[in-house]
Amino acid sequence: MSTSHPQAMLVFSTLSGIATHLTIFRHGEWDVQAPKLVLSYLFLLIGAMVLDQAAKAKYVDFAAPYPWLVKGVWCHILGIYGSMIMYRAFFHRLSQFPGPFFARLSNFYVTALSARKLHLYEETEKLHGIYGDYVRLGPTELSIADPSAVKALYSSQAKVSKGPWYTILEPRVSLQTDRDKQEHARRRKVWDQGFSSRALRDYEPRVSHYTGQLIDAIEKQLGSSVDISRWFNYYSFDVMGDLAFGKSFNMLIDGKDAYILKQLHTDMKSIGLFSHLTWLFPFVKRTPGLNADYLKFWTWVGERVNGRIQNNPDRPDVFSWLLKAYEQGPKTKQDTLNLHGDAYLIIVAGSDTTAATLTNIFFHLVSDQALFKKLQAELDALPDLSHDKLREIKLLDAVINETLRLHPAVPSGTQRLSPPEGMTISGRYIPGNVMLCIPPHALFRDPSAFIPFNSGMACHPEHPILADVYPTYR
């Protein structure tokens, strides 16, 4: 065999890798398919190595170019990644947007930022301080701190769709992770029934019951320091456990973490750290050993859902509405998986975020005794603490809203995907099929963007109370 033949083969392999990237991998989403792709290339590489060894042992015709197959596969892979890096660095449709150079090459950059303190929102704010309102945070991702982008990305009329992060629960699809707008709208109607004004009034006695348990638990610790964040977690999880599965997790009574709380906090750390490496999650789900906690958790969810189906509570809860829609449907395997996803959503969306917000509210209240006493006086003047009466306290509403402004439940924001044709925000063209995100923590503290700094509803006559609360919180 001449030496030119194998050399030409290696060149061809490299070019085929470049072509594969430019014509295939550069288009569409490949996050969920990552395990299949890796396995395919792994089998190809192993096959080439087997043929290479067989050729050396003369089990096959040595005249054939088997010894070069392994090098050819590696050259093909090198061509893919070489093309990917060059394209992302210099020719990508987001090249016009500023940002750290290494951020444009790989999402490992933003993951490294997140790993510092698991406070990506702080790192993102620093980047916006350096590069402006539009920052290229990853190869195909923009972080936008422009107030004009809020309506364009998150309104009901927005042309964007949910990004690939929302595949994180697959094969389960909760209401939150449903990327099909029509299907989401259909499922949303079911959820709306579970959170209507009438339904919320029906839940009130249950919430009051657990509020009493929380107060009792704190009163037992008077005279000593109390980790209030821990007890707010117990409170919110017990409430949502009742509303989701018809029974509490009994953390307020037992005074210790239940399995669900420990597992979710572990999961949230992983999701927070690797949220920009969405292709990594399918690997964990499918790899024996690594997926042990994953399988155990969803088995737990399935058992709770089955238990709730078999034991219908006397009083309707949030899950009653979801279960009713499920029972009226075809009950396919996907329907069952989605029901499990919605059960997970009830717990996570209603508990962890509520506990964090309650903790932040009380932090600010105890930091300002004047505000604390003013709010206490208004609450003490009420004949009862029913939801209808509490709604009349504008100061309470202002405190809650201002806390959510300063400490949004998802400070780094939620992902959206620009439409294929692209879009324009504040006169700036955003290319199609790129991931977009607005960091609430940065935007909500921008003096030019949010109430009650320069303009906005807090300055309107009907909303003066927020303007009074703001100087206390700043």
Tell me the pLDDT of the chain (474 aa) as tens digits: 444 567 888 899 999 999 999 999 999 999 888 888 998 999 888 888 887 777 666 655 544 555 677 888 899 999 999 999 999 999 999 999 999 999 999 999 999 999 998 899 999 999 999 999 999 999 999 999 999 999 999 998 999 999 999 999 999 999 999 999 999 999 999 999 999 988 888 899 999 999 999 999 999 999 899 999 999 999 999 999 998 888 899 999 999 999 999 999 999 889 989 999 999 999 999 999 999 999 999 999 999 999 999 888 888 889 999 999 999 999 999 999 999 999 999 988 889 899 999 999 999 999 999 999 999 999 999 999 888 899 889 999 989 988 998 899 999 999 999 999 999 999 999 999 999 999 999 998 887 776 554 433 343 344 444 444 444 444
Do residues 416 and 163 lie in contact, with contact meaning Cβ atoms separated by under 8 Å?
yes
The set of residues, in sequence order, having a beta carbon less than 8 Å from that of 212 and lying 6+ positions away, is none
- Map residue 455 onto helix, strand or coil: coil
Which strand (E) or helix (H) includes residue 144?
A: strand 141-144
The whole-number pLDDT of residue 457 equals: 35
The whole-number pLDDT of residue 471 equals: 42
Other beta carbons within 10 Å of 40? 11
Q: How many CA atoms lie within 13 A of 30 on its CB side?
A: 11
For residue 473, which of 366, 376, 356 has the smallest C-alpha distance? Answer: 366
Give the Cα separation of 110 and 183 in Å (integer): 32
Q: Of 1.10.3720.10, 1.10.1370.40, 1.10.10.10, 1.10.630.10, which CATH number belongs to 169-367?
A: 1.10.630.10
Domain span(s) for CATH 1.10.630.10 in the chain: 169-367
Give the Cα separation of 338 and 294 in Å (integer): 16
Give the Cα separation of 454 and 434 in Å (integer): 32
For residue 270, which of 290, 296, 244 has the smallest C-alpha distance? Answer: 290
Give the Cα separation of 130 and 100 in Å (integer): 10
Other beta carbons within 10 Å of 33? 13
The whole-number pLDDT of residue 209 equals: 95
Other beta carbons within 10 Å of 322? 25
The whole-number pLDDT of residue 49 equals: 81
Per-residue DSSP letters for 165-214?
GGGTTTT---TTT---HHHHHHHHHHHHHHTSHHHHHHHHHHHHHHHHHH
Give the Cα separation of 132 and 99 in Å (integer): 9
* pTM, to two decimals: 0.87
Beta strands at 435-437 and 141-144: parallel, antiparallel or unpaired = parallel
